[in-house]
Structure formats: C-alpha cells, structure tokens
C-alpha cells in the first residue's frame, strides 16, 4: 500500500477488502481483534486524503456454516438460512470501526446497489464508508467465474484502486478478494504483508524444537495441514474435538465424543508413520451434554463411558502439552483445545494458551477461534510473538498452498 500512498491518494476512491468477520453475540461483537487489525491500513489511506470504501464479509449468510465460532470440541456452528438476513449485517462492525477510527463510518444498505453507489459518490476526502456484507450478493462466492467477474466489475465501478488487506480471506477465490484485483489497480495492504512476513518464518527454517498445537472440532478441516506439517515439525500436539478421531484410531472407545469415522483410518496411518511426533490427550473432561451447568468428570482418555462426551483436554494433558511447549523454540497454535466458550471446558485452552504465553519461543497463534480465545480468556496478547487474523488462510499458507488473493497481486494489475 506504500506504493499507492507514494502515487498519491488524495481525492481518490480506494476500495479496501478487510476481514471483519468477527464473532457476534446478537449484535454485540465479542472479539473485535479483526476490526482493530484492519484499522491501520484504513487510517493510513484516510489520513492521506483517500475516500475509503471498505468491503468485508460476515459469516456465511447463504447457507453452510456461519463464522467458524465455537470450533472447540463438538461445538459445530449452526447452519444458516436464506437471503440477506439482519443477523449477518455489518452494522455492528461499522459502529465499532467508527469508534476505533474516531470518525463515523457510514454503512451502505447494499453491496453494489444504489446505496453503495450513493455512498461511494458522497464520501469526502479522508472519510470512510463500509459496504454491506459482500456475501449478501450471491455472486461473491459463486462457483461461476463469470458471475464473480461481473460482481468484481461492479465493485470496480465504485473505486479507482483496490487494496487487499483482508488476510483472513485471501485463501478464498471470491469476487471482492480475487476477481476485483484483476480489474482495479491492486495493492497489498500492510496487514497482508505483515502476516505473510511472520508466517514465512514458520515455512522457512523455524528454530527447533518446532512444536505445533492443533485443536478445533474437525479433523477433516485439518488433515491437509497435518499431513503438510508432520515432516517439518518436531512435535504435533492434538487437542480439541479432532483428538477423538485419533484416540479412536488408537483403538479407544470415545463414548459420545465427536468422531469422524471416515477419517479414523487416515488418523491411524498418520499415527503409524509419525507416532513419535504426535501427542494425543491422556485425559479428558467429559459431560453428558454441552451445557454450562452439567455434571463434569475428568477421566483417562481410554475410559470415556458411553453416553458421555469429551469436551476439553484434562489437566494431565495440559501438563504434558505445556512441558513440550516449554522446551520449544518455535510454536504455532491453531484451534481451541476444548469448548472454551463454556467455563467448565475452558481450562484446556487456557492452559495451552498460558503455556505458550509463558514460553520464550517464537510463537504464532493462527485462527479466529484461538485468537479470540486468547483475548476472551484474558491472556496477555504480548505473550505471543504474533496473533494472526487468519484461520484457514494461515493454515493454507503453512500447507504451502497458493493464496489466490495474494497470488493475484503479483499479476501486476496496476
Ligand atoms: C475466517 O473466519 O476464517 C475468514 O473470515 C474466512 O471466512 P470463511 O471461512 O467463511 O470464508
């Protein structure tokens, strides 16, 4: 974005794609980390006199899963329904962004329609406006390249230049991330550059021992990254709901815990080939239901009774993981160790986060959930070398995949 600033942006309309996909409780933002991370680039452009039009998504309003919140053990986000739904409106985000910028952020009531055009036309130099959730337009995430390109053309008509700053979404080939960068002069934002810089340290020659902690609910989401990381890491600590597929692969009965039966065989293969590196829970916190006030027990990982489900890693596992983390020189953590949103199942995630914060290792937290956990559990953010705003994006980067929203910037559309 420095190139764009050097060219001069005063009076120009700049479309900034940010990742403002924050967890909400009703209309209250429970963790504003991504909004805060988006501010520096927006502020820089505004201070240089640009008319800043911010584009962002919230959740997955057209079906499928919502924001990947509650990615701990067994907490699968609710399916969403239907067309533009007020609960996916960016209104609360516009308010928060305005507070952080110290200036009102006008929200257009549509994505590229009359309100968006009116907003783009009415911005004064140095002011900031936000388009409504880009995923309200089905072309944003369409499988049809032609449809995405059509929407990108409409985004382009709102602005003179494009800044890609939504690191959390650069792994998505979507209209406001990818196609728009082919029609407007496109620049990488400071957040995207900073994230790539830090994550490159993990894909380069990380200081050893290199310990990776993975959690979250689904093995299926993480298999690719597990396979890519195993040859590179010294130790892989597995918590969260995905641990039960590994425990089942070891031949344990996991009761009613989250289990992806289709992946047990793959987990078994990984344990056979890399068993010396993979550490799975030795004890778990179990309950009969996922609720804040249920009876909770801690049992050995191989002693989960039927009718009970594992919802957090137990204290012996926390100790085991913490020992490994304490000896590490590089740590990457993605995915909560348990359903940390509920107090009885938060200790595992807190323990892992605390161990990382206490270690002197170069530490990177990746993933909306783990980053939110750090803040929601009140851990000091400066205990971590870097808290990434990317979930899937940081994982795909570590897998060595091309990130379309980054790759497109090298096409040199200026
Ligand atoms: C995220 O939450 O990881 C990003 O905002 C991307 O969201 P998505 O997984 O719904 O594309």
pLDDT for 68: 36
**Mutate which of 33, 35, 172, 371 for ligand 1 pocket (most atoms within 8 A of beta carbon):** 172
Q: Which residues make Cβ contacts (< 8 Å) with residue 212, sequence separation at least 6?
A: 229, 233, 235, 236, 237, 331, 332, 333, 334
CB 361 within 8 A of CB 328: yes
Angle ∠(83,66,407) on CA atoms, nearest 5 = 95
**Is 60 exceeded by the pLDDT of residue 132?**
yes
**Is 80 exceeded by the pLDDT of residue 277?**
yes
pLDDT for 81: 43
Q: Domains of the chain, with CATH numbers?
A: 2-194 (3.40.50.1260), 205-399 (3.40.50.1260)
Predicted TM-score (pTM) of this structure: 0.88
**Is 80 exceeded by the pLDDT of residue 47?**
yes
ipTM: 0.98
Tokens of 66: 């919502």
User: Quick one: average pLDDT of 69-82?
Assistant: 41
> Ligand 1 mean position to 270 CA, how many Å?
27
> Ligand 1 mean position to 300 CA, how many Å?
35
368 is catalytic: yes
Q: Please state, in angstroms and rounded to a whole number, the distance separating the CA atoms of residues 356 and 370.
A: 12
Digit-coded pLDDT (tens) for 137-184:
999 999 999 999 999 999 999 999 999 999 999 999 999 999 999 999
What is the residue whose two structure tokens read 């040199």?
412
Q: Please state, in angstroms and rounded to a whole number, the distance separating the CA atoms of residues 290 and 345.
A: 9
Known binding positions for substrate: 19-21, 34, 57-60, 135, 172
Digit-coded pLDDT (tens) for 335-367:
999 999 999 999 999 999 999 999 999 999 998
pLDDT for 131: 98
Known binding positions: 19-21, 34, 57-60, 135, 172, 222, 310, 341, 367-370
34 is catalytic: yes
pLDDT for 85: 86
pLDDT for 376: 87
Atom of ligand 1 nearest to the CA of 390: 3
CB 235 within 8 A of CB 213: no
Query: Of 218, 277, 309, 350, which is the active-site residue?
Result: 218
Residue 186 DSSP one-character state: E
96 is catalytic: no
33 is catalytic: no
Longest dimension (CA), the chain: 66
59: left (phi over 0), alpha (psi -120 to 50) or beta: left
The lowest-confidence range among 62-76, 310-324, 395-409 is: 62-76
What is the residue whose two structure tokens read 């990380």?
206
Q: Please state, in angstroms and rounded to a whole number, the distance separating the CA atoms of residues 21 and 60.
A: 10
**Is 50 exceeded by the pLDDT of residue 308?**
yes
């Amino acid at each position: 974005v420095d190139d764009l600033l050097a060219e001069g942006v005063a009076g120009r309309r700049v479309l900034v794609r940010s990742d403002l996909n924050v967890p909400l409780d009703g209309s209250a933002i429970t963790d504003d980390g991504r909004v805060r991370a988006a501010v520096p680039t927006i502020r820089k452009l505004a201070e240089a006199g640009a008319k800043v039009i911010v584009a962002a998504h919230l959740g997955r309003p057209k079906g499928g899963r919502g924001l990947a919140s509650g990615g701990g053990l067994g907490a699968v986000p609710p399916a969403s329904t239907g067309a533009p739904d007020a609960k996916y409106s960016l209104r609360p985000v516009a308010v928060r962004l305005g507070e952080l910028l110290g200036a009102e952020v006008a929200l257009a009531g549509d994505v590229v329609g009359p309100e968006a055009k009116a907003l783009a036309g009415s911005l004064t130099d140095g002011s900031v406006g936000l388009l409504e959730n880009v995923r309200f337009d089905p072309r944003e995430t369409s499988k049809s390249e032609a449809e995405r390109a059509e929407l990108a053309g409409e985004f382009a008509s709102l602005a003179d230049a494009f800044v890609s700053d939504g690191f959390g979404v650069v792994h998505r080939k979507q209209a406001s991330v990818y196609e728009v960068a082919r029609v407007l002069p496109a620049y990488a934002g400071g957040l995207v550059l900073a994230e790539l810089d830090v994550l490159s340290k993990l894909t380069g020659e990380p200081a050893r021992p290199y310990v990776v902690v993975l959690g979250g609910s689904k093995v299926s989401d993480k298999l690719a990254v597990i396979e890519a990381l195993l040859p590179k890491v010294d130790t892989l600590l597995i918590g969260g709901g995905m641990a039960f597929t590994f425990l089942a692969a070891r031949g344990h009965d996991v009761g009613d815990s989250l289990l992806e039966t289709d992946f047990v065989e793959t987990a078994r293969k990984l344990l056979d080939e890399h068993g010396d590196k993979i550490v799975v829970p030795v004890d778990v916190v179990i309950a009969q239901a996922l609720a804040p006030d249920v009876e909770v027990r801690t049992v050995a990982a191989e002693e989960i009774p039927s009718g009970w489900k594992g919802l957090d890693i137990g204290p012996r596992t926390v100790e085991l993981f913490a020992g490994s983390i304490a000896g590490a020189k590089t740590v990457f953590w993605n995915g909560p160790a348990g359903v940390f949103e509920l107090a009885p199942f938060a200790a595992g995630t807190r323990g892992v986060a605390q161990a990382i914060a206490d270690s002197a290792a170069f530490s990177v937290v990746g993933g909306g959930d783990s980053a939110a956990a750090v803040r929601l559990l009140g851990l000091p953010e400066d205990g971590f070398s870097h808290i990434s705003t990317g979930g899937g994006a940081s994982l795909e980067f570590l897998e060595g995949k091309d990130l379309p929203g980054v790759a497109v910037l090298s096409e040199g559309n200026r």
